[in-house]
Amino acid sequence: MNLDKNFFKENLKVIIYALIIAIFIRSIFFQPFYIPSSSMEPTLLVGDRLFVSKYSYGYSKHSFPFSPKIFNKRLFFKKPKRGDVIVFKTPADNRTDYIKRLIGLPGDKLQILNGDLYINNNLVNKIKTKISLNITCGEEVISANTFEEKLSNGKKHFTAYRKIGTMKNSDIFIVPEDHYFFMGDNRDCSKDSRFLSSVGYVNFENIVGKAELIFFSNNKKNGSLWTFWKWGKSIRFNRILKKIK
């Protein structure tokens, strides 16, 4: 009987220690995330699983599970760079995780004119690629052109724009102090900072971390992890351990 009690206690200790270590790693170093939507295509695909570094921009209450109110300011804060792909808590509820690309810094003025993005009255250079994609937007499949965009700091990334019905013009956005402006790479299918009532400008305290690496990717339409005989079609082997740019 004593052996059974000791066995239970020892296993309980192992589980508790494992949970503590997992929470520590998740809060301080890396947290895994799953991509459920197409707002960051072609950079991130539905079914991508990635690691987000927590230390890249310092720590806030949102660095920890359930966002405990243990401090108000960000500790060891480091400024994010324009073009970084970042996970943040949406300002609408301070709970939901969004992943977008950082486009506007505090004080920046942004506007879309005739389909082109301007930051501080400077045109963001974009070069149309030879690749046309059929990308998803909810249940809809849309035909899109892809562009390589180059930001003012030299950061390059790929974006997708609808061939028909792309956003031509927008309001002027001026990013407040201590806030950031985010956009999805799938420019015509992304709820982001352009929508002030639902996302808008993101406070620096809402930043969770920087997307660093895709560690696994699976296309559910072609099979699940349980259907191992379909792995050749469902697992995107070319995306495993791919660095996020």
Catalytic residue positions, numbered: 39, 100
Bridge partner residues of 173 (DSSP): 110
User: Torsion angle of alpha carbons 184, 188, 192, 194, nearest 10°?
Assistant: 130
Q: Which of 117, 52, 60, 49 is nearest to 86 (CA)?
A: 52
Which amino acid is present at 230? K
Q: Which of 166, 178, 180, 148 is nearest to 245 (CA)?
A: 148
Alpha-carbon distances of 131 from 48, 53, 127, 138, rounded to whole Å: 21, 31, 11, 22
User: In the chain, which ranges are continuous DSSP H helix?
Assistant: 2-28, 231-234
For 128, phi and psi rounded to 5 degrees? Answer: -70, 130
Say how far apart CA 218 and CA 223 lie, in whole Å. 8
| 72 Rama sector, left if φ>0, alpha if ψ -120 to 50, beta otherwise | alpha
